[in-house]
Amino acid sequence: MERKRKTLADFPFFTVASMRKQPPDVKGHTDFEIEGAFDRIIKRSEITWFWLLSKEGDSFCVQWKSEDDKTLAAVLTGCQANVPDLAGATLYYLSPCWQAFHVGMVLAPQWGWQRVRFEAIDAQAENYESQEVSIVNGREVKTWTKLERADKKGHASRHYPASDEASVSESAAIIVPGGWDHEHCELCRTHINPGYFGYRDLDDRWMCEACYKKYVEPRDLSFVDEL
């Protein structure tokens, strides 16, 4: 039996009844508040913010101010640049487990995916000391190694417990040949290893071939249910 494709219309949605906006601050950001109602109960998490998406591809990061599970009414607040008048709009709920661009990269035909073979590149490593102690594999860790692409492309950095003998005094960045040895699929987080093909977008984000075939080709948003 063929699996039903999930579209934005299948997401929980919020109908905006009214909107209040403050004048933009010196950086051009606007505090806003929207009042309206959801079409169903939204399961709350410890994370207080989430996304509201428009059919046109706009996204708004908002937080709960108040809600009523009986009437489904809610007041939401946010702050960002270039906020349009949202009164009367229908906006679709996206869990904070995802980023708004995850929906765009599946739906937008012009996203700019290219199928390419991943090859390891040089990385830059630097030690730093965190404010808190973490327990990793039974040992206390406060000194970490931050790993980034040496060419400064992409958005990701990776953080590993520093070696036992490392210290912050050894924090000068060093180049690790071939140290950036995999990418993560944006949707399933699987590794894309050297020699394997994946899809890369214009911002150097990656998607594995399986997720591309499963979600991008049919424009299917059911990845949001996979957590």
Query: CATH no. for residue 58?
Result: 2.40.10
User: SS3 of 9, please?
Assistant: helix
Q: Do residues 195 and 119 touch, judged by C-beta distance below 8 A?
A: yes
Asked whether the predicted pLDDT for residue 41 surpasses 90, the reply is yes
pTM for the model stands at 0.86
What is the domain range of residue 127?
Answer: 115-216
Q: Is 160 found in the same domain as 134?
A: yes
Q: How does pLDDT run across 73-129, given as a tens digit for each residue?
A: 999 999 999 999 999 999 999 999 999 999 999 999 999 999 999 999 999 999 888
Q: Is 197 found in the same domain as 157?
A: yes
Domain count along the chain: 2
39 phi and psi, to 5 degrees?
Answer: -90, -10
Q: How does pLDDT run across 123-144, given as a tens digit for each residue?
A: 999 988 888 888 888 888 888 8
User: SS3 of 95, please?
Assistant: coil
Q: Is 188 found in the same domain as 160?
A: yes
In this structure, of 81-90, 169-178, 193-202, the range with the lowest mean pLDDT score is 169-178
In a domain, 224, yes or no: no
Q: Is 85 found in the same domain as 157?
A: no
| Edge-to-edge order in the sheet of strand 139-149 | 158-161, 139-149, 121-136, 174-180
In this prediction, residues 156-185 reach a mean pLDDT of: 80
More confident residue, 115 or 1: 115
Last residue of a domain, one of 69, 97, 125: 97
Last residue of a domain, one of 66, 97, 128: 97
Q: With bands split at pLDDT 50, 70 and 90, how would you rate the model's confidence at 173?
A: confident
Q: Is 160 found in the same domain as 72?
A: no
In a domain, 3, yes or no: no
Closest CA to 100 of 209, 203, 224, 227: 224
Asked whether the predicted pLDDT for residue 17 surpasses 90, the reply is yes
What spatial distance separates the first Cα and last Cα of the chain, rounded to whole Å? 23
Asked whether the predicted pLDDT for residue 195 surpasses 90, the reply is yes
Last residue of a domain, one of 33, 62, 97: 97
- Residue 118 has a pLDDT of 97
Asked whether the predicted pLDDT for residue 27 surpasses 70, the reply is yes
Task: Tell me the two tokens of residue 188.
Answer: 């399933």
Task: Tell me the two tokens of residue 119.
Answer: 């090859």
In a domain, 78, yes or no: yes
Asked whether the predicted pLDDT for residue 12 surpasses 90, the reply is yes
In a domain, 105, yes or no: no
In this prediction, residues 202-225 reach a mean pLDDT of: 96
In a domain, 221, yes or no: no
Exposure class string for 128-146: b at 16+ Cβ within 10 A, else e: eeeeeeeeeeeeebebbbb
Q: With bands split at pLDDT 50, 70 and 90, how would you rate the model's confidence at 2?
A: low
- Residue 164 has a pLDDT of 56
Q: With bands split at pLDDT 50, 70 and 90, how would you rate the model's confidence at 184?
A: very high
- Residue 170 has a pLDDT of 52
Instruction: Measure the CA–CA gap between 72 and 182, rounded to whole angstroms.
Output: 44
Q: In whole numbers, what is the pLDDT of the chain averaged over residues?
A: 91
Instruction: Measure the CA–CA gap between 134 and 132, rounded to whole angstroms.
Output: 6
Residue 209, CA atoms < 13 Å, CB-side half-sphere: 9
| Helix (H), strand (E) at residue 105 | helix 100-107
